[in-house]
């Protein structure tokens, strides 16, 4: 667990000697010139003493030095037990994230009470354009944006998903840079950031696009996979395919997101045969065609899309059109981050817990029928690749985040097949090694009530950890 090798190698550590045995309250002296380390910034100077007796991070006690980095002395005054100092003393630039993590984990911050409440009736209706597994609650995103950034700041989210953080940041006057590997995320994030400024404009645009799509030649349904055809009346499916193609040609992301939001459900305002809303499963056993023939009839797209647009404008942000934003469809591995970032707020894929490609398969088919871009990449499947993606992210953040600014990572407590591995610890270990200028200053544990979990059979994540790093 402890990152520093005993001989002091591997972490820019110098090694020195301390004589004999010392007790609590005893002053010890060191001189970094004698132990041969290069000067390090004062705030990064730590003194590490290997001790024989006390159980404290594998028998190692770490004391943060506050005197000059060339030489100094410190009194072991806060340590409650006698200390037996061995012959080894290391002084150097310690990345202390892991120590901070263990300390904060044993006494995590309490999530604000209102994070437990449903925000469905109070959040912007743009957040409800279309469902997304693993979506962050908008009130959490809102609080994090408020607390860790200010107007005009550049806020980034490299795992944008449904664009929750992007939208909250944009309406609060932040500049926004977001990215995600998924084409569904691209549509949703762009839709939220570029929605027409009024309901009237949105309905006008929809009317024109619908008219244009209606004039198109009908698609040949024989080339549509049977698993897709099973969800729709064939006349509805033809309208749906034409509309989604036209939206994509015209880059009409807002209309496309509204369309994806009404693609499948069991309610009359939706396009499919009765099925679930988040993940597409037909409910033809519960609603067999012979008992519910009306649910299997043609469903016209036009009135449903118009009604959906009206719902999207129920609680609409006052001023979003002036916000500056950019979305990149890219994996974290290939993403170039902008320089001089003021704030990072992100929730990476919960390793092995959610399956973005499978669970969004019907919506993704309309966006990418040939499945050219794989949404489920090894990052969401394997621990090693997940870790290497987080390493890439940590390195990028280390160089692009401005000093004294924040990086907030929201992560599920555990991964599905690794129940005993805390994802937040994996992330802190990686930040410890690859983003040493970021200090972990807070850890909040937020229990996820059943209602918010993507899977209700208790297999999914039960709590989230919110890690707050600050660059020093």
Ligand X SMILES: C[S@@+](CC[C@H](N)C(=O)[O-])C[C@H]1O[C@@H](n2cnc3c(N)ncnc32)[C@H](O)[C@@H]1O
The single residue among 233, 236, 352, 377 that binds ligand X, judged by CB under 6 A, is 377
- Say if CB 416 and CB 383 are below 8 A apart: no
- Say if CB 245 and CB 280 are below 8 A apart: no
Region 340-359 residues binding ligand X, contact defined as CB under 6 A: 347, 349, 356
Give the span between the Cα atoms of 237 and 231, in whole angstroms.
Answer: 9
- Say if CB 166 and CB 141 are below 8 A apart: no
- Say if CB 144 and CB 172 are below 8 A apart: no
Q: Name the residue nearer to ligand X (CB basis): 96 or 347.
A: 347
Helix (H/G/I), strand (E/B), else coil: 269: coil
We find the least distance from the C-beta atom of residue 137 to ligand X, in angstroms, to be 8
Helix (H/G/I), strand (E/B), else coil: 348: coil
- ∠ at Cα 127 (338, 320), nearest 5°? 60
Candidates 161-169, 238-246, 321-329, 428-436: pick the segment binding ligand X (CB under 6 A). 161-169
Using CB under 6 A, count the residues that bind ligand X: 23
Q: Name the residue nearer to ligand X (CB basis): 329 or 442.
A: 329
- ∠ at Cα 366 (364, 368), nearest 5°? 65
- CA atoms in the 13 A half-sphere facing the CB of 355: 8
Residue whose tokens read 């004391």: 63
Q: Name the residue nearer to ligand X (CB basis): 266 or 381.
A: 381
Residue of 324, 43, 9, 39 lying closest to 172 (CA atoms)? 324
- ∠ at Cα 230 (225, 231), nearest 5°? 110
Candidates 77-85, 195-203, 372-380, 438-446: pick the segment binding ligand X (CB under 6 A). 372-380
Q: Name the residue nearer to ligand X (CB basis): 44 or 186.
A: 186
The single residue among 101, 159, 325, 434 that binds ligand X, judged by CB under 6 A, is 159
We find the least distance from the C-beta atom of residue 280 to ligand X, in angstroms, to be 17
We find the least distance from the C-beta atom of residue 303 to ligand X, in angstroms, to be 29
Q: Name the residue nearer to ligand X (CB basis): 69 or 132.
A: 132
The single residue among 14, 65, 92, 161 that binds ligand X, judged by CB under 6 A, is 161
Candidates 157-165, 218-226, 424-432, 458-466: pick the segment binding ligand X (CB under 6 A). 157-165
Residue 181 touches ligand X, criterion: CB under 6 A: yes
300-314 per-residue burial string, b: 16 or more CB within 10 A, e: under 16: ebeebbeebbeebbe
Residue 134 touches ligand X, criterion: CB under 6 A: yes
The single residue among 51, 91, 98, 136 that binds ligand X, judged by CB under 6 A, is 136
Residue 182 touches ligand X, criterion: CB under 6 A: yes
Residue 212, CA distances (Å) to 216, 217, 251 in order:
7, 11, 14
We find the least distance from the C-beta atom of residue 331 to ligand X, in angstroms, to be 4
Q: Which residue is nearest to ligand X (CB)?
A: 161
- Say if CB 86 and CB 51 are below 8 A apart: yes
Residue 233 touches ligand X, criterion: CB under 6 A: no
Site map (CB under 6 A) of ligand X, residues 381-410, x = contact: --------x---------------------
- Kindly state the helix (H) or strand (E) to which residue 204 belongs, with its residue range: helix 199-214
Q: Name the residue nearer to ligand X (CB basis): 188 or 258.
A: 188
The single residue among 93, 96, 97, 162 that binds ligand X, judged by CB under 6 A, is 162
Candidates 118-126, 226-234, 364-372, 376-384: pick the segment binding ligand X (CB under 6 A). 376-384
- Say if CB 126 and CB 190 are below 8 A apart: no
Residue of 443, 462, 453 lying closest to 110 (CA atoms)? 443
- Say if CB 219 and CB 207 are below 8 A apart: no
Candidates 175-183, 214-222, 309-317, 416-424: pick the segment binding ligand X (CB under 6 A). 175-183
Which spans in 328-443 are helix H?
356-359, 361-367, 378-381, 383-400, 423-434
We find the least distance from the C-beta atom of residue 157 to ligand X, in angstroms, to be 7
Candidates 100-108, 155-163, 237-245, 270-278: pick the segment binding ligand X (CB under 6 A). 155-163
Which residues would be at the binding site for ligand X (CB under 6 A)? 132, 134-136, 159, 161-162, 164-165, 180-182, 185, 331-332, 347, 349, 356, 375, 377, 379-380, 389
């Amino acid at each position: 667990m402890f990152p520093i090798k005993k001989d002091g190698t591997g972490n820019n550590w110098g090694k020195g000697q301390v004589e004999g045995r010392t007790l609590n309250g005893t002053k010890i002296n060191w001189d970094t010139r004698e132990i041969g380390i290069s000067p390090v910034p004062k705030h990064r100077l730590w003194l590490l003493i290997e001790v024989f007796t006390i159980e404290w991070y594998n028998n190692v006690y770490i004391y943060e030095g506050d005197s000059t980095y060339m030489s100094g002395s410190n009194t072991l005054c806060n340590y409650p037990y006698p200390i037996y100092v061995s012959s080894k003393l290391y002084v150097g630039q310690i990345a202390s994230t892991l120590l901070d993590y263990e300390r904060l984990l044993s006494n995590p911050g309490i999530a604000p009470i209102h994070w437990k409440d449903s925000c469905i009736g109070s959040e912007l209706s743009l957040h409800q354009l279309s469902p997304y597994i693993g979506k962050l609650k908008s009130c959490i995103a809102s609080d994090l944006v408020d607390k860790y950034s200010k107007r005009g700041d550049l806020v980034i989210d490299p795992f944008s998903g449904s664009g929750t953080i992007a939208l909250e940041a944009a309406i609060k006057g932040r500049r926004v840079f977001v990215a995600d590997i998924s084409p569904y995320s691209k549509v949703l994030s762009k839709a939220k950031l570029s929605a027409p400024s009024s309901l009237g404009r949105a309905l006008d645009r929809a009317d024109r696009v619908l008219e244009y799509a209606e004039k198109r030649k009908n698609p040949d349904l024989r080339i549509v996979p049977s698993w897709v055809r099973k969800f729709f009346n064939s006349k509805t499916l033809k309208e749906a395919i034409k509309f989604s193609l036209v939206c994509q040609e015209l880059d009409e992301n807002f209309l496309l997101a509204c369309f994806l939001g009404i693609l499948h459900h069991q309610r009359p305002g939706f396009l499919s045969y009765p099925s679930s809303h988040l993940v597409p499963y037909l409910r033809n056993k519960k609603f067999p065609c012979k008992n519910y023939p009306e649910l299997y009839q043609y469903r016209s797209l036009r009135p449903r899309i118009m009604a959906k647009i009206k719902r999207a404008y129920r609680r609409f942000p006052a001023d979003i059109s002036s916000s500056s934003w950019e979305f990149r469809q890219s994996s974290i591995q290939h993403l170039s981050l902008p320089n001089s970032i003021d704030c990072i707020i992100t929730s990476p894929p919960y390793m092995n817990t959610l399956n973005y490609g499978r669970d969004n398969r019907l919506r993704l088919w309309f966006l990418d029928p040939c499945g050219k871009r794989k949404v489920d990449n090894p990052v969401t499947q394997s621990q090693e690749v997940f870790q290497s993606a987080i390493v890439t992210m940590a390195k990028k953040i280390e160089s692009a985040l401005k000093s004294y600014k924040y990086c907030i990572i929201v992560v599920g407590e555990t991964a599905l097949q690794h129940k005993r591995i805390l994802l937040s610890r994996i992330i802190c270990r990686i930040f410890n090694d690859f983003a040493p200028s970021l200090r972990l200053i807070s850890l909040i544990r937020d229990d996820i009530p059943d209602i918010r979990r993507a899977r209700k059979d208790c297999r999914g994540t039960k709590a989230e950890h919110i890690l707050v790093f600050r660059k020093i």
